[in-house]
Amino acid sequence: MPSSISSLCRECGAHFDAAPKDERCSVCASPRIISHDELDSLSIAHIDCDAFFASVEKRDNPELQNKPVIVGGGKRGVVAACCYIARTKGVHSAMPMYRALKACPDAVVVRPSRNKYSEVGRQIKDFMRDTTPLVESLSIDEAFLDLSGTEKLHGGSPAATLVKLIKRIEDEIGVTASVGLSYNKFLAKTASDLDKPRGFAIIGKAEALDFLGPRPVGSIWGVGNSLRGKLERDGLRTISQLREMPEDELIKRYGVIGKRLSRLSHGIDSRIVEPGSKAKSISTETTFSDDIRDLETLLHRLWPLCEKVAKQLRNKNLAARTLTLKLKTSGFRSLTRSRTLAQPTQLAEVMYQEAKVLLEPEVNGTPYRLIGIGTSQFADPEFADQADLLDNSAATFAKVEGAMESVREKFGGPAIQKGRTLLKD
Amino acid sequence: MKITIERGLLLKVLTHIQGVVERRNTIPILSNVKFDAPDGQLSLNATDMDIDIVETIPADVASSGSATAPAHTLYDIVRKLPEGAQVELDCTGDDSQLTLSAGRSKFKLTCLPTEDFPVLSGGDLPNNFTLSAADLRGLIDRTRFAISTEETRYYLNGIYLHAAEKDGVEVLRAVATDGHRLASVEIPLPQGAAGMPGVIVPRKAISEIRKLIDETEDEIAVSLSDTKIKFAFEGTVLTSKLIDGTFPDYDRVIPEGNDKVLEVDTDLFAHAVDRVSAISTEKSRAVKLTIAKGNLTLSANSPENDTATEEVPVDYDEAEIEIGFNSRYLLDIAQQIEGDRARFTLADAASPTLVQDLDDQGAIYVLMPMRV
């Protein structure tokens, strides 16, 4: 029955019980009218900012507005984000920089300023939390929102509330976002990608199966390249082919993920939107502009990472019990080595010493392109870095790092460095 | 080689030996046990390249020879054979397979060439002395709990065994520490041990030798150089490499100026610590000791604000003091003290505390406090 269709203006949020006659909003005259049978009943949304880093850069430097912008860095770096102008030339994120510049030689390359992005990301999340407490953050610029039961509070359907929310983000923060609205997380996330940028896509219960059917298995959340390859070798290319397989068979063939594949292929996803899951790990890594093989140079690159992670631990008032060293070879093989520390630590020096022990056996002439360090198993810093019978250096390191921190706060990052930051030629 | 041996005896030896064999080995021969059967006896040998165990037992040798076979598989098979079974090991004719038969069971195991089996024992061990099994057990049992597992301070991953002098008496002293607690136990210096180098016996060797001497009352012959140590008794020989490092100067962490003395009933104390620590979370496990005249209050709390307190009567006559310890460490030490009363000698909340068994002057424990 066409009369049951509700419509909504993507621009101003005006709500219509039937689709407007001339297909334009009668309030703001925008042609962007969203009409859907289930418009008023769907309440799980996925919001994803459009070319986030690039949008922030364009916002802060209007000269970049109409130029292709790539955020990323270094000769060996990869594209962290690129604006939609650059995308028309074939640039996409995670693409090696040299290839991106080949595809789009006139692009303006901007070095990423992560602190700025996380600040903007935090503002956006605050706006989301103003709308509903059920915000599950996925990354710096995307989140799931559950808007069930907010109709009375916001005086409108979840869809209308979402339009208002992204309009607020656009007006007050200056970046655009795309919304996917559906009845579960999987479909909401799938939807947000359909209509980018400034999108608003809906997948209702009625069309979910037809919609999913022809899509490639790789579009299922959690199906990476290797699983996709495996599925394709087994003749499962589309979601409808997956749906025809009995769940048992999928579990038998692919293990636990088989259950998920089967359920998602039927549009079933019962995971709830879980807000406020605390960080489980803090890590950082760096890609080298030239491969590194020797211990001294690797250690030289490791130290600033330790300092960075220690600083984040201090900021979050955490201490870590487990340390993980990550390396990637020039052949893109990743390896990680972990150890549980004798006691939780918050100190860069302790992490450095422990990571060194993990690193040494891996230095055997293999060329590495990346090194990273991660901490997990957090504990109360109250119990971290306690004095030791034999070795009181933890207290000394704590004093040194505390003093360096206060000097840096006053005079900036490079004002004081450890000697090991300087590398002999 | 063809021999027959009683299942129980073979199992006992394999139990000892398989502890040395690593579950995963990059060098295949190290997964194997080596059999050597000259006349009338069988010796079994296993090694992980750091520790080497040889055990010799009487056996019915029909034809002498040697062979190697996978230690863990062999152990598993022998363990599952019925009690009292006679086990026949045979690799005559074909030395690429060892046939194990017992009753109606028959197994064929792949052998590796015996000449590939590494020889670790040998080399000159100039220092020789004997210890009673009871003395060696005492040295190990009262110190091993404090051995560190921290790889960065590898030189703490064992027991430091050395000759020392205390009040003009020569002693053999065992010391272990992980930086949080230290245990030092001594016995009169055995004859022949004078002039021995201080050696760090690695944790795994300690644990293996401790298993071996669990039931014996024999004298243990100890031989050592500055790189190896050998323990021999009753047909069993364990040789281990030593940790190549310098044990820290532990003397300076044993407090001397501590002036606050507390004496407490060991059992009462250990049980109270155990009960109170039930409340603190796995991760922090701090117990606070509030010590006043005649009374000790143990308390602990969890991040959820659950609390526990228990009072213990003590002999204490100094100014009130508060000090925190890791409850696990406190318990470990309380459990070492076999006498009825323990003495704590304290300075302040941030300095190491000395703990002693009033019945055992040969052992001292040092415990580092925690901030609470």
* Bridge partner residues of B193 (DSSP): none
* Among the listed residues A42, A45, A40, the one whose alpha carbon sits nearest the alpha carbon of residue A5: A40
pLDDT at B282: 62
The angle subtended at Cα A298 by Cα A297 and Cα A300, nearest 5°, is 60
Q: What is the pLDDT of residues A352-362, one digit of tens each?
A: 999 999 999 99
| Phi (first) and psi of residue B255, to 5 degrees | -65, 145
pLDDT at A181: 94
| Phi (first) and psi of residue A363, to 5 degrees | -90, 100
pLDDT at A221: 79
Q: What is the mean predicted confidence (pLDDT) over B284-288?
A: 80
The dihedral through the CA atoms of A357, A361, A365, A369 has a sign that is: negative
A281-421 CATH:
3.30.1490.100
Annotated catalytic, A142? yes
Question: B352: which chain A residues are within 8 Å (Cβ-Cβ)?
Answer: 389
Which tokens in the block code for residue A410?
């006053």
- Local confidence band at A276 (pLDDT 50, 70, 90 cut-offs): low
- Preceding peptide of A197 cis, ω within 30°: yes
- Give yes or no for residue A366 having a pLDDT over 60: yes
Extract long-range pairs of A396-401: CB within 8 Å, 24+ residues apart: A397/A347, A397/A348, A397/A349, A397/A350, A398/A346, A398/A347, A400/A349, A401/A310, A401/A347, A401/A348, A401/A349
Please say whether the structural domain A32-48+117-208 has been given the CATH code 3.40.50.720.
no
pLDDT at A35: 85
Q: Which residue of A317, A389, A391 is the best one to mutate when testing the B interface, meaning the one whose CB has the most B CBs within 10 A?
A: A389
* Among the listed residues B135, B130, B198, the one whose alpha carbon sits nearest the alpha carbon of residue B164: B198
Which tokens in the block code for residue A355?
């990571």
CA distances from A254 to A248, A260, A261, A269 (A): 10, 10, 9, 18
Catalytic residue among A136, A142, A307, A401: A142
Chain B contact present for A385, CB below 8 A: no
**Could you give the CA distance from residue A249 to residue A259 in angstroms, rounded to a whole number?**
9
In the chain, the amino acid numbered B76 is: D
| Lowest pLDDT segment from A413-422, B27-36, B124-133 | A413-422
In the chain, the amino acid numbered B134 is: A
- Give yes or no for residue A212 having a pLDDT over 80: yes
**Could you give the CA distance from residue A158 to residue A245 in angstroms, rounded to a whole number?**
35
Q: What is the pLDDT of residues A35-94, one digit of tens each?
A: 888 888 899 999 999 999 999 999 999 899 899 999 987 667 788 899 999 999 999 888
Question: What is the β-pairing status of strands B219-224 and B199-202?
Answer: unpaired
Chain B contact present for A391, CB below 8 A: yes
**Range among A215-224, A351-360, A381-390, A414-423 with highest mean pLDDT value:** A351-360
- Give yes or no for residue A396 having a pLDDT over 90: no
Question: For residue A125, what are the contacts with CB-CB under 8 A and spacing of at least 6?
Answer: A135, A137, A143
Q: What is the pLDDT of residues A128-180, one digit of tens each?
A: 999 998 999 888 899 999 999 888 888 889 999 999 999 999 999 999 999 99
Q: Residue A293 CB: number of other CB atoms within 10 A?
A: 13
Residues spanned by CATH 3.30.1490.100 within chain A?
281-421
Give Cα A71 distance to the centre of its chain. Answer: 15
Question: A388: which chain B residues are within 8 Å (Cβ-Cβ)?
Answer: 179-180, 368
Answer with the residue of higher pLDDT: A34 or B61: B61
The angle subtended at Cα A375 by Cα A369 and Cα A380, nearest 5°, is 165
CA atoms within 13 A of residue B286's CA, in its CB half-sphere? 19
- Give yes or no for residue B283 having a pLDDT over 70: no
| Phi (first) and psi of residue B14, to 5 degrees | -65, -35
- Give yes or no for residue A1 having a pLDDT over 50: no
pLDDT at A380: 80
DSSP 3-state assignment of B306? coil
Element (H, E) at B67: strand B65-70
Query: Measured between CB atoms, which of B152, B250, B284 is closest to A353?
Result: B152
**Could you give the CA distance from residue B50 to residue B19 in angstroms, rounded to a whole number?**
13
Question: A386: which chain B residues are within 8 Å (Cβ-Cβ)?
Answer: 180, 368, 370-371
| Phi (first) and psi of residue B89, to 5 degrees | -115, 125
Contact flag A342-B352 (C-beta cutoff 8 Å): no
CA dihedral B212, B216, B220, B225 (to 10 degrees): 10
- Local confidence band at B279 (pLDDT 50, 70, 90 cut-offs): confident
Q: What is the pLDDT of residues B38-59, one digit of tens each?
A: 888 999 999 999 999 999 999 9
Answer with the residue of higher pLDDT: B328 or A20: B328
Answer with the residue of higher pLDDT: A35 or B296: B296
Query: Measured between CB atoms, which of A353, A380, A386 is closest to B370?
Result: A386
- Give yes or no for residue A272 having a pLDDT over 60: yes
- Give yes or no for residue B131 having a pLDDT over 70: yes
Give Cα B259 distance to the centre of its chain. Answer: 33
- Local confidence band at A4 (pLDDT 50, 70, 90 cut-offs): low
* Bridge partner residues of A34 (DSSP): A8
List the single residue in B with minimal CA-CA distance to A388: B179
Q: What is the mean predicted confidence (pLDDT) over B88-116?
A: 89
Using the CB atoms, write b or e for B321-333: b if 16+ within 10 Å: bebbbbbbbbbbb
pLDDT at A3: 42
* Bridge partner residues of B231 (DSSP): B222, B238
pLDDT at A95: 87
List the single residue in B with minimal CA-CA distance to A352: B152
Chain B contact present for A1, CB below 8 A: no
**Could you give the CA distance from residue A393 to residue A386 in angstroms, rounded to a whole number?**
10
Q: Architecture of A52-115 per CATH?
A: 3-Layer(aba) Sandwich (3.40)
- Give yes or no for residue A20 having a pLDDT over 80: no
Question: What is the β-pairing status of strands A69-72 and A108-110?
Answer: parallel
Which tokens in the block code for residue A40?
């008023």
**Could you give the CA distance from residue A274 to residue A382 in angstroms, rounded to a whole number?**
29
List the single residue in B with minimal CA-CA distance to A321: B283
Gap from B262 CA to chain A (nearest CA, Å): 21
* Among the listed residues A172, A159, A419, A145, the one whose alpha carbon sits nearest the alpha carbon of residue A303: A419
- CA-based diameter of chain B, in Å? 82
In the chain, the amino acid numbered A218 is: G
DSSP 3-state assignment of B365? strand
Gap from B315 CA to chain A (nearest CA, Å): 27
- Local confidence band at B155 (pLDDT 50, 70, 90 cut-offs): very high
Contact flag A388-B180 (C-beta cutoff 8 Å): yes
* Among the listed residues B349, B344, B282, the one whose alpha carbon sits nearest the alpha carbon of residue B312: B344
Q: What is the mean predicted confidence (pLDDT) over B120-136?
A: 89
Outline where DSSP puts E strands in B13-50.
32-37, 41-47
Q: Of how many residues is chain B composed?
A: 372
Chain B contact present for A339, CB below 8 A: yes
- Give yes or no for residue B109 having a pLDDT over 90: yes
Contact flag A379-B303 (C-beta cutoff 8 Å): no
pLDDT at B280: 72
Question: A319: which chain B residues are within 8 Å (Cβ-Cβ)?
Answer: none
- Local confidence band at B122 (pLDDT 50, 70, 90 cut-offs): low
Element (H, E) at B11: helix B7-18
- Give yes or no for residue A2 having a pLDDT over 50: no
- Local confidence band at A10 (pLDDT 50, 70, 90 cut-offs): confident
DSSP 3-state helix, strand, coil percentages of chain B (rounded to 5)?
Answer: 20, 45, 35
Q: What is the mean predicted confidence (pLDDT) over B294-303?
A: 89
| Lowest pLDDT segment from A106-110, A273-277, A342-346, B145-149 | A273-277
Query: Measured between CB atoms, which of B149, B182, B284 is closest to A383?
Result: B284
DSSP 3-state assignment of B173? strand
Q: Residue B87 CB: number of other CB atoms within 10 A?
A: 23
**Could you give the CA distance from residue B367 to residue B177 in angstroms, rounded to a whole number?**
10
Chain B contact present for A393, CB below 8 A: no
Q: Print the SS3 string covering chain A.
A: CHHHCEEEECCCCCEECCCCCCCCCCCCCCCCEEEECCCCCCCEEEEEECCHHHHHHHHHCHHHCCCCEEEECCCCCEEEEECHHHHCCCCCCCCEHHHHHHHCCCCEEECCCHHHHHHHHHHHHHHHHHHCCCEEEEECCEEEEECCCCHHHHCCCHHHHHHHHHHHHHHHHCCCEEEEEECCHHHHHHHHCCCCCCCEEECCHHHHHHHHCCCEHHHCCCCCHHHHHHHHHCCCCEHHHHHHCCHHHHHHHHCHHHHHHHHHHCCCCCCCCCCCCCCCEEEEEEEEEEEECCHHHHHHHHHHHHHHHHHHHHHCCCEEEEEEEEEEECCCCEEEEEEEEEEEECCHHHHHHHHHHHHHHHCCCCCEEEEEEEEEEEECHHHCCCCCCCCCHHHHHHHHHHHHHHHHHHHCHHHCCCHHHCCCC
- Give yes or no for residue B163 having a pLDDT over 90: yes
Compute the radius of gyration of chain A from its Cα atoms.
25
Compute the radius of gyration of chain B from its Cα atoms.
25
Residues spanned by CATH 3.30.70.270 within chain A?
32-48+117-208
**Could you give the CA distance from residue A169 to residue A176 in angstroms, rounded to a whole number?**
7
Please say whether the structural domain A213-265 has been given the CATH code 1.10.10.10.
no
Residues spanned by CATH 1.10.150.20 within chain A?
213-265
pLDDT at A424: 58
Residues spanned by CATH 3.40.1170.60 within chain A?
52-115
- Give yes or no for residue A24 having a pLDDT over 90: no
Which tokens in the block code for residue A386?
């306690």
Which tokens in the block code for residue A179?
């919304």
Contact flag B368-A388 (C-beta cutoff 8 Å): yes
Answer with the residue of higher pLDDT: A7 or B121: A7
Number of H helices, E strands in chain B: 6, 26
Tally C-beta pairs within 8 A across A and B. Answer: 50
Q: What is the pTM of this model?
A: 0.66
Contact flag B368-A386 (C-beta cutoff 8 Å): yes
- Give yes or no for residue A405 having a pLDDT over 90: no
Answer with the residue of higher pLDDT: A35 or A373: A373
DSSP string, B263-289: EEEHHHHHHHHHHHHTTS-TTT-EEEE
**pLDDT over 70 percentage in chain B:** 97
Contact flag A386-B284 (C-beta cutoff 8 Å): no
- Local confidence band at A271 (pLDDT 50, 70, 90 cut-offs): confident
- Give yes or no for residue B72 having a pLDDT over 90: yes
In the chain, the amino acid numbered B337 is: I
Gap from A389 CA to chain B (nearest CA, Å): 5
